[in-house]
Amino acid sequence: DTGVSQDPRHKITKRGQNVTFRCDPISEHNRLYWYRQTLGQGPEFLTYFQNEAQLEKSRLLSDRFSAERPKGSFSTLEIQRTEQGDSAMYLCASGYAESPLHFGNGTRLTVT
Amino acid sequence: SQQGEEDPQALSIQEGENATMNCSYKTSINNLQWYRQNSGRGLVHLILIRSNEREKHSGRLRVTLDTSKKSSSLLITASRAADTASYFCATARSGGSNYKLTFGKGTLLTVNP
């Protein structure tokens, strides 16, 4: 169990640029989640995969956000035309069945 | 949207004291989980209690669940400075393919040495 890894740890970008984050889950986990967390708040659900299928996407997620999980392994989260309001910590988590989630240490995005 | 609401938002205690955090939620659940987060890090799972359970222990942690009141509490006994962190409750709704956790806003616990 090498844990959930996320890359990069930090990303600073200018407004209007596109960014992509990567998440490598624990290998035997079939479920993968993306959450967003702002200062002083709890993680907010963005989207969820079971294997390679994206089963749910938050209604709060604009069309500028897209996530993929090709072959049910790693996942990427892309934000197009970033806005200052996108600044947050983006957390990835994985699990199997209804077991507790294992979280990565997140990618902190700052949009200037 | 966040289903769970933790209370208090912040708690400051002395080392050795007990810390109690409460969580209320709105809809029926399959299970309720507590997580801990150190500043700038990911969340770490602490304990899970199922909807048909009323109390659970793990080391210095004690969790209770009252489904009639839609509330849970986390008790940390004999606190240590290393327990300083944010604590979140998370609710999981019914099983099947749509299984996700909804988190509350958290309680920031500070344990003073």
Please check whether residue A45 touches B, CB under 8 A.
Answer: yes
pLDDT value, residue A88: 97
Q: For B59-99, how does the pLDDT look when each residue is reduced to its tens digit (9 = 90+)?
A: 999 999 999 999 999 999 999 999 999 999 999 886 555 67
- Chain A residues closer than 8 Å to B99 by CB: 31, 98
pLDDT value, residue A61: 82
Query: What is the total residue count of chain B?
Result: 113
- Per-residue model confidence as pLDDT tens for chain A (112 residues): 579 999 999 999 999 999 999 999 999 999 999 999 999 999 999 999 999 999 889 987 889 999 999 988 999 999 999 999 999 999 999 998 788 999 999 999 999 9
Closest chain A residue to the Cα of B34, Cα to Cα: A100
Helix (H, G, I), strand (E, B), or coil: what is residue B48? strand
Neighbouring-strand partners of residue B108: B10, B86
pLDDT value, residue A62: 87
* Measured distance between the N- and C-terminal CA atoms of chain A, rounded to whole angstroms: 36
B residues 57-86 closer than 8 Å to A (CB): none
- pLDDT, chain B, mean: 92
- pLDDT tops 90 at residue B19: yes
**Nearest Cβ partner for A100 among B4, B33, B40:** B33
Residue A43, preceding peptide bond in cis (omega within 30° of 0): no
